[in-house]
Amino acid sequence: MLCKRIIPCLDVDAGRTVKGVKFQGLRDVGDPVELALAYQEQGADELVFLDISATIEGRRTMLDVVENVARDLMIPFTVGGGVSSLDEVKQLLAHGADKVSVNTAAVKRPGLIDEIARDCGSQCCVLAVDAKRKATGGGWEVLINGGRLPTGLDALAWATEAAQRGAGEILLTSWDRDGTLEGFDLELTAVFTESLPVPVIASGGAGGPESFVRVFKEANADAALAASIFHDGTWTVRALKLELDKQDIEVRL
């Protein structure tokens, strides 16, 4: 049977992998290629690279990172962060990315998804959705601009539309849980996995193996993404997968 996928996420700023440190901004944690290979060695099923560069030069460096990663990495990887046009998507894919994720730009112009699906194939197109519980209850709303701007859009309705337009997978981040280590948002994830015809990658809140067990068993996520618990070295992908296997979750060991 198809395995659940464990996907470490790396933030890249001007060609270096970085980690957000409370009250201190960003800290350089190493060379993206080296880290990517280390995760591959640990058994990561895929990787996600998020370009968080603030400058144009920084963003240009990302293409070099993609090319260097693609040369040696033997597992699929997705690149995202500020991707706003079909041309950018094609460039990233040409440099070696297997998939590209779009977020804010797709909300602003949903036709971008159709373009990517038509030109590159749905399998290359991941829609990243940042979701936050609506204050007035009843569902979740979509945030854009790195979680800074609420849109009032219903997250499930938006993801459904995106899937219809050709998005091949949904990367669903719970803004309520992100960074809390309290576990993935199971209710949010379950609603998405039940309704959507495409795979859902859960993101936001992973604290330890129990988080993953629950998001796979109770919320039926197809894959789960995490950053902090892997970067901090608290858990290696290998150790996590051994735990999941013990709990009868189908993972690639």
Is 11 annotated in the active site? yes
CB of 147 to another protein, least distance (A): 26
CB of 74 to another protein, least distance (A): 5
Question: Which residues does residue 132 pair with via DSSP β-bridges, in sequence order?
Answer: 141
CB of 68 to another protein, least distance (A): 11
Catalytic residue from among 130, 178, 185, 222: 130
Question: Residues interacting with another protein, by CB under 8 A?
Answer: 1-3, 5, 40, 45, 70-72, 74-76, 93-94, 96, 98, 121, 123, 168-169, 197-199, 222-223, 252
Closer CB to another protein, 118 or 246, in the complex: 118
Consecutive H or E run containing 3: none
User: How many angstroms from the chain centroid is the CA of residue 79?
Assistant: 9
CA torsion angle for 29, 143, 185, 116 (degrees, to 10)?
A: -80
CB of 123 to another protein, least distance (A): 5
Closer CB to another protein, 78 or 104, in the complex: 78
Is 13 annotated in the active site? no
Closer CB to another protein, 1 or 135, in the complex: 1
For residues 2 and 117, what is the distance between their CA atoms, to the nearest angstrom?
Answer: 24
Cα–Cα distance list, 116 to 3, 44, 82, 165, 245 (Å): 27, 26, 15, 10, 36
Q: Tokens for 121? A: 């194939």
Catalytic residue numbers read 11, 130
